[in-house]
């Protein structure tokens, strides 16, 4: 998992390349969906589901949390001193708060929850549970995985019970609407005006972070499988079959507890965790087993500095949005809009031009990260 620091470090020789590629693919998807030229002209798969349901875009965040979990089992840092772990979580959360406030840092409405803040909490909670459930004999990976599975099931069932059974003041139990669910009530009560775009709910709210920890634990279980003595082929088989089971159970639960990214419902955790396991298995099979690496190098580069990419992407976009310029029609606009209208809109139909603009962001950011890669600079928390 990439992050920030000032000093260059050498790339570890034993890295799992497929995990870096999977992370890079996930981050590339994030950049594309977050930076269209015009939000009114976007292909539907590149938009989040409005509420219940899912699109490919709704896979990106849980994929990253799954990767955080896998990385946890492969990194000595997860077994290192607590001071280092707490510092890493604090740096990640701090970056999220900085991005939320940039460039004006409005104290009255500065958003407190966020993507990096949730990653930090899930990382910290995941490490705590990972270490607390570890058996006395480290080689007993199956026992460890079963304990983590029990924790995951417990978190998902508790969250389901909370949303379905806790009665919200002025409302009722089991309300899964944006304003009426118990998670939104908790966010409004505890965070007030510091929610996403001043809405009455936050997609990275307090209560919905509980099942997001479950997403991370599913990645930990996948990582333990990779550490097992099974053959590479059997590891792929277990990841695919286990992922398929999670997808089926997630879809079954969807009938009574809908798949919903904003609520991070338990059915969403199982479905997206299963999809992440299958996607990672395909990367592992193609790259680490099959040796098909020629196509993957750009994504490996993106994956090696993932959170750096996230931060740079946010700063780049926000900077373009705050720079005022005069449009071709003589009206004031932003540099972001000006570049899209003058350079990309004439090139193709609206949806394709919007996608080309998003792709140009990815190219610019890739060039920056490629420069870091050429200098063997991998920024870490």
pLDDT in the model for residue 1: 38
Whether the per-residue pLDDT at 6 is higher than 90: the answer is no
Look at residues 319, 361, 330, 331 and name the one whose alpha carbon lies nearest to residue 343.
Answer: 361
Q: DSSP state, 240?
A: H
Closest CA to 37 of 350, 368, 375, 371: 350
How many Cα atoms occupy the beta-carbon half-sphere of 351 within 13 Å?
A: 6
- Residue 211's pLDDT is 98
Average pLDDT over the chain reads 93
pLDDT 10s digits, 73-122: 987 767 789 999 999 999 999 999 999 999 999 999 999 999 999 999 99
Do the beta carbons of residue 77 and residue 84 sit within 8 Å? yes
| Residue 49 DSSP one-character state | -
Evaluate if residue 3 carries a pLDDT over 90. Answer: no
Per-residue pLDDT, averaged over 267-281, amounts to 98
Q: pLDDT class for 15, splitting at 50, 70, 90?
A: confident
pLDDT at 316 over 50: yes
Q: Which residues contact 350 (CB under 8 A, 6 or more apart)?
A: 38, 41
pLDDT digits (tens, 9 = 90+) for 155-209: 999 999 999 999 999 888 999 999 999 999 999 999 999 999 888 999 999 999 9
Q: Which residue, 169, 101, 117, 131, is CA-closest to 322?
A: 101
132-150: pLDDT as tens digits: 999 988 778 999 999 999 9
Nearest CA to 54 out of 250, 202, 190 is that of: 250
pLDDT of residue 2: 38
Average pLDDT of the segment spanning 301-320: 96
Over range 53-65, report the average pLDDT.
98
| pLDDT tens for each residue of 203-241 | 999 999 999 999 999 999 999 999 999 999 999 999 999
Q: How many residues can be counted in the chain?
A: 381
Phi/psi class of residue 198: alpha, beta or left (left: φ > 0; alpha: ψ in -120 to 50)?
Answer: left
Domains of the chain, residue spans: 1-47+293-381, 58-291
Q: CA-to-CA distance for 263 and 267, rounded, in angstroms? A: 10
Radius of gyration, CA atoms only, the chain: 21
> Which residue from 194, 1, 23, 33 is spatially nearest to 114, judged by alpha carbons?
194
Considering 6-10, 142-146, 197-201, 355-359, the range whose residues carry the highest mean pLDDT is: 355-359
């Amino acid at each position: 998992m990439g992050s920030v620091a000032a000093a260059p470090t050498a790339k570890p020789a034993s890295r799992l390349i497929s995990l870096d590629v999977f992370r890079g693919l996930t981050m590339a998807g994030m950049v594309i969906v977050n930076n269209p030229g015009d939000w009114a002209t976007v292909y539907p798969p590149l938009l989040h589901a409005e509420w219940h349901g899912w699109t490919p875009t709704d896979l990106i965040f849980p994929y990253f949390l799954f990767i955080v979990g896998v990385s946890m089992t492969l990194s000595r840092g997860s077994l290192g001193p607590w001071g280092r772990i707490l510092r890493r979580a604090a740096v990640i959360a701090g970056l999220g708060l900085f991005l939320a406030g940039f460039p004006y840092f409005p104290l009255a409405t500065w958003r407190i929850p966020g993507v990096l803040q949730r990653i930090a909490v899930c990382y910290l909670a995941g490490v705590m549970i990972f270490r607390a459930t570890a058996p006395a004999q480290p080689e007993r990976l199956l026992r460890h995985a079963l304990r983590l599975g029990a924790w995951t099931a417990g978190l998902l069932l508790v969250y389901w019970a909370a949303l379905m059974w806790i009665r919200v003041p002025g409302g009722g139990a089991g309300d899964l609407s944006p304003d009426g669910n118990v998670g939104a009530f908790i966010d409004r009560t505890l965070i007030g005006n510091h929610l996403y775009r001043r809405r009455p709910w936050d997609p990275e709210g307090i209560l919905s972070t509980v099942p997001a920890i479950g997403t991370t634990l599913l990645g930990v279980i996948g990582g333990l499988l990779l550490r097992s003595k099974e053959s590479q082929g059997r590891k792929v088989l277990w990841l695919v079959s286990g992922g398929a089971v999670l997808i089926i159970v997630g879809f079954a639960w969807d009938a009574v507890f809908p798949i919903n990214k904003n609520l991070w419902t338990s059915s969403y955790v199982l479905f997206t965790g299963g999809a992440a396991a299958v996607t990672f298995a395909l990367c592992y099979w193609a790259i680490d087993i099959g040796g098909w690496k020629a196509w993957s190098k750009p994504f490996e580069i993106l994956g090696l500095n993932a959170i750096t990419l996230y931060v740079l992407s946010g700063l780049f976009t926000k900077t373009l949005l705050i720079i005022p310029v005069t449009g071709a029609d003589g009206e004031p606009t932003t540099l972001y809009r000006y570049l899209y209208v003058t350079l990309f809109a004439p090139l193709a139909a609206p949806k394709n031009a919007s996608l080309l603009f998003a792709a140009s962001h990815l190219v610019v950011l890739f060039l920056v990260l490629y420069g870091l890669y050429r200098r063997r600079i991998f920024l870490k928390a």
